Chains A and B, each alone.
Chain A
Amino acid sequence: DAKTTQPPSMDCAEGRAANLPCNHSTISGNEYVYWYRQIHSQGPQYIIHGLKNNETNEMASLIITEDRKSSTLILPHATLRDTAVYYCIVRESNFGNEKLTFGTGTRLTIIP
């Protein structure tokens, strides 16, 4: 079973920041938080991951609370191409052979 809880859907205006929350209250000390997204008819796309520190890359920022029980994915300037299902995943390690356990994700719709 997935170890995360996400809202089923969210809307965001184009050009604004999209903030996607994720609850992972049972996360253990060595588990990582990963975010993937899936655009319609495509495979999941890796976005970002972190352990305890906030992370930023060219796609997004990941903010993890100090107690690590929740996190927020931030898309700073959302575009229509960011419309997708976003999955928050808790993963036991960051090795490539560690499996991914997906939940049902958040369907993000960017409004023109």
Chain B
Amino acid sequence: DAGVTQSPTHLIKTRGQQVTLRCSPKSGHDTVSWYQQALGQGPQFIFQYYEEEERQRGNFPDRFSGHQYPNYSSELNVNALLLGDSALYLCASSLAWVGNQPQHFGDGTRLSIL
């Protein structure tokens, strides 16, 4: 049973460019959450998708957007990249509205902005 998979594993971009990161949730999960982890810090919640809609959002600008597809996979898009966007981007999947549900994380995409 495959867990959460993310692609690509590493990515290098320059300032001002746009990037798309992809996530496939664990089998049977319907909810995808995205987190940003800067070096030496804990992950910070970006937003969450359920039923193809953004349901919750953390304190991130509109440059960060996402999408969820009918098969529950998800994308994170970041426009007008800044140096400060360099981080590990983590995807977590879970089952919404079901008790005792931990979020399961992928190993992330490491994004470097030059």
Contacts and interface: CB of A to CB of B under 8 A. Distances in A.
A101 B33 CA distance: 12
Contacts of B92: 43-44, 100
Residues of A contacting B: mostly? loop
Interface string A66-101: 000000000000000000000100000011110111
A46 B41 contact: no
A29 to B, nearest CB: 16
Interface size class of A (residues with CB under 8 A): 20 to 34
A21 interface: no
B45 A99 contact: yes
Residues of B contacting A: mostly? loop
A104 B40 CA distance: 8
Contact of A97 (B43, B94, B107): B94
A104 B105 contact: no
A102 B90 contact: no
B99 A41 contact: no
B29 to A, nearest CB: 8
A28 interface: no
A104 B41 contact: yes
B58 interface: yes
Contacts of B44: 102
A43 B99 contact: no
B43 A44 contact: yes
Interface in B69-90: 90
Given A44-B105, A96-B103, A97-B96, A103 B42 contact: yes
B97 A95 contact: yes
Given A96-B103, A99-B48, A43 B55 contact: no
Q: Ordered nearest first, which 10 A-B pairs have the shortest CB separation? A: A96-B94, A102-B42, A96-B101, A43-B105, A46-B102, A97-B96, A96-B95, A99-B45, A43-B107, A44-B105
Interface of B: 4, 29, 31, 33, 35, 40-45, 48, 50, 55-56, 58, 90, 92, 94-108
